[in-house]
Chain A
Amino acid sequence: ETGVTQTPRHLVMGMTNKKSLKCEQHLGHNAMYWYKQSAKKPLELMFVYNFKEQTENNSVPSRFSPECPNSSHLFLHLHTLQPEDSALYLCASSAGLAGSYEQYFGPGTRLTVT
């Protein structure tokens, strides 16, 4: 695998379900990001991790819970979501404090909440 991978690519879940999104970067980066992309809106930054430490939580509702066990992996745990949470969830990584801030994105997970 190269670059940034995300699984699953598509997810349909009910409002009472619990699911997790997974992101893995193979670029040796130290910073990882979660974004939400809704139709016709700019990308919304959700969380930032630098060296496994959360450095940004952009006022995200607690039904989204991130986890970063190491610099290569990032998870987004989902529970009791709302239909308006349906969107494309993108993961990105960058060298961060150790280098440039150019962010490289994964293909995204298309989430539909029913």
Chain B
Amino acid sequence: GQQLNQSPQSMFIQEGEDVSMNCTSSSIFNTWLWYKQDPGEGPVLLIALYKAGELTSNGRLTAQFGITRKDSFLNISASIPSDVGIYFCAGSTDSWGKFQFGAGTQVVVTP
């Protein structure tokens, strides 16, 4: 089946640093979504991407839909303690909204 690889698995960063993570797929996607999940809660949608090359920001978060349509990137600038959590990518190829999810990147921010 389709493989969606997300890296890194975890990151330990200092407050104020920038964070980058990415997802790659063996298949071409039409849509990429990025989520954040806090402990004991459901994932919260951060950014949605619909076109190859698209670059979209949401506050300090910026995500890009890769030109090849097989990858996507999420950057967090000037991290703060509340950025702690697990970030997931999700990609879809079909018109029914069926998404593949990455395994997540755990971000830990130290003061």
Contacts and interface: CB of A to CB of B under 8 A. Distances in A.
A42 B91 CA distance: 12
- Which of under 10, 10 to 19, 20 to 34, or 35 or more describes the interface residues of B? 20 to 34
Interface in B75-108: 88, 90, 92, 95-104
Nearest to A33: B97
Contact of A48 (B98, B102, B103, B104): B98
Contacts of B88: 42-43
B93 to A, nearest CB: 11
A101 B97 contact: yes
A103 B97 contact: yes
Contacts of A101: 31, 92, 97, 99
A34 interface: no
Contact of B102 (A33, A42, A45): A42
Interface string A21-48: 0000000000101000000111101001
Interface stretch (B12-20, B43-51, B53-61, B65-73): B43-51
B33 A40 contact: no
Contact of B43 (A50, A56, A94, A105): A105
Interface in A60-105: 90, 92, 94, 96-97, 100-105
A56 B102 contact: no
A101 B92 CA distance: 9
Interface residues of A, number: 28
A12 B99 CA distance: 29
Nearest to B92: A101
A100 B42 contact: no
Interface in B24-39: 31, 33, 35
A55 interface: yes
A96 B97 contact: yes
B20 to A, nearest CB: 20
Given A48-B96, A48-B97, A90-B42, A102 B33 contact: yes
Interface of A: 4, 6, 31, 33, 40-43, 45, 48, 50, 55-56, 90, 92, 94, 96-97, 100-108, 110
5 contacts: A4-B42, A48-B96, A101-B31, A102-B45, A106-B42
